[in-house]
Structure 1
């Protein structure tokens, strides 16, 4: 497929005038650049010779496509470049000269060894936004430390804080650190682009998965600041509000969230247990937190008498936040999911949609799929073939 065909298929969006060089791989970086592509940017994914992005080899596979790769690389163009070979370096630098953004998630020092540091590339394109996302960032004693999502979850404290008090530390059920890093990479790029409108100058965006995960700890960090100790694992309940937990009905579990005394009183009347609202143990949130186990036992003694569907209806009608406990298949099938266009098709594969809805742009239910390896290599080499008199970053 040539690049003009890709341009025709690319959705319109606020970043439609941007050219992005995507040197990222696996999940962290591609997730951030995928947001740019979803919002209209032209994203050229530069892949290494051989098999390209490692995730092209990761399952699960549908019709020979890696979903791991497809989910975060839709709508991008692919070119294979050997960044150590002179001819490919010249093509790469010609793209750099026209690019608005370069994103990379190599281990710190890799781009510098290739001669493509921020300082070197900004010398030939001062307006370039150069975004680096890594496990621990570009500075500090652990900058060169290798990292995958689970390592960062373990070292940030979130793995230790997840699970039940009598159970082991538990990894969050998604690659949270990778995804947080990708979201903050996107945020940093968008912020630097906004600043460039005022200054005319590019910038280096430095994002660490560790920093991103630490920033998401919130409640756990509050407890640490307040007590000086790491909080223990508390399962599904809220650390500061009760009842705010998963509860057992006759047939399945569901969730009730009471964030204040008024909601608790409404809940007690909805489940026909008005005496709980006047019980001295549960009269205010502090008391309910101190007696959370007893309160849960009292509520479940009643809740186990009816199916969850009954309680979902009566508690919702009482104005108390309540929701079913769904698996992924059930969540994907919700009418709300369809109404928000959160399951789309890209390249013949169903995948999560774009959560950013902007009133002035369409949110297509069908989007361009992920590219095959070097699918656009020939047309991109032709487009960026002209070599200027400026030497490359290694002085060649």
Structure 2
């Protein structure tokens, strides 16, 4: 009987013999049904919709309506059609890469210190405290003779107490200076502004204004201090601590000859700009104040509708060279503001010196190697 053991899903031969050897009707077997091949006949919807056509193959189409109890979330609700003749908003393709040339340049990298000469820390602390006590002076209306003298190049230089050397004016607007070896930092300032906010600001005059002067370096370094001598060209709002080079304290900017870096209210190491200034070079520093239809909204700059566009540029040996936009984007963590330099304050010419140098400074156009167009 083991040979006739039943298998799963069927029945054994011994069961068939039992049906024929016993009298009486055979036991009733429950019929088994198999589904017909193929999909069911087309299904009709019992609503107001038309018949739903069957998809190709053996797939079944979902019902046309959402399941019971389903509600749209606000984000899934399509916007209402525009009223009247209004056009729908244009489609924005997020896969398109924007044109980086239209973006403002990133802020220039600053340095913690200069690679050449650095000032004494006590002098810096004293200057910071001095600037905190002495705030910048508001601009004043120049007299007609005062303004005419500056336009004609008749500009005087003041010798501060820290300046150790000679300073002579052989001609109108031309100055010859010589400092002793080992001289400390000092800042020569013009006695009068060479930019008057009241009469030169382009939003008031509707004209472009450029200020400029040149310095010829006749010699750099004498005696034991030969390696620690240089010059700086800049502009300052008043008052300014004269034992500090221009560009280091508030309301000032400058290009320093020892490292070629530019400084804007920067008491640290400045930013890369040009090559160092050497003996025999004639360098000039200018600022151009112009009308601007719109200025880029740089993150670290003040937003103002009354700003002028300001460009600072350098010339060397009669040729215009590097420049920078005063309203460039600034680093919030490292850079100070451009307060005092954007055309709202009077600006004086400034020449910083340290060590033993010989130089000529010219504020009269007739003596310049570079001639503005």
TM-score normalised by the shorter chain: which range applies?
A: under 0.3
- Which structure has greater strand proportion? 2
TM-score relative to the length of structure 1:
0.19
Which structure is larger by alpha-carbon Rg, 1 or 2?
2
TM-score relative to the length of structure 2:
0.20
- Which structure has greater helix proportion? 1
